[in-house]
């Protein structure tokens, strides 16, 4: 049996201190469309708050689906 890691606290899913999250050219955030120099973990333009809200929503949706079906798709 493998040990589960505890879920990270909100706001700690992405390490925004890493230089890979910064780009010198502002681009529209993929969520709110405002210009941002930040990039998410896939390198797509995303404000910190927008990206973390999207990750939190995905986690909530996954948990809800698991509770409804008893398994992940």
**Cα Rg of the chain, angstroms:** 15
Distance CA 64, CA 41 (A): 24
Q: Tell which residue, 50, 64, 61, 58, has the closest CA to residue 21.
A: 50
pTM of the model: 0.67
pLDDT digits (tens, 9 = 90+) for 7-62: 555 555 677 888 888 999 999 999 999 999 999 888 999 999 999 899 889 888 88
3-state class of 72 per DSSP?
coil
């Amino acid at each position: 049996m493998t040990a589960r890691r505890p879920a990270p606290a909100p706001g700690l899913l992405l390490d925004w201190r890493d230089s890979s999250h910064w780009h010198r050219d502002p681009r529209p955030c993929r969520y709110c469309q405002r210009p941002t120099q930040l990039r998410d973990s896939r390198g797509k333009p995303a404000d910190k708050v927008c990206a973390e809200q999207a990750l939190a929503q995905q986690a909530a949706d996954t948990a809800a689906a698991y509770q409804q079906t008893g398994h992940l798709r």
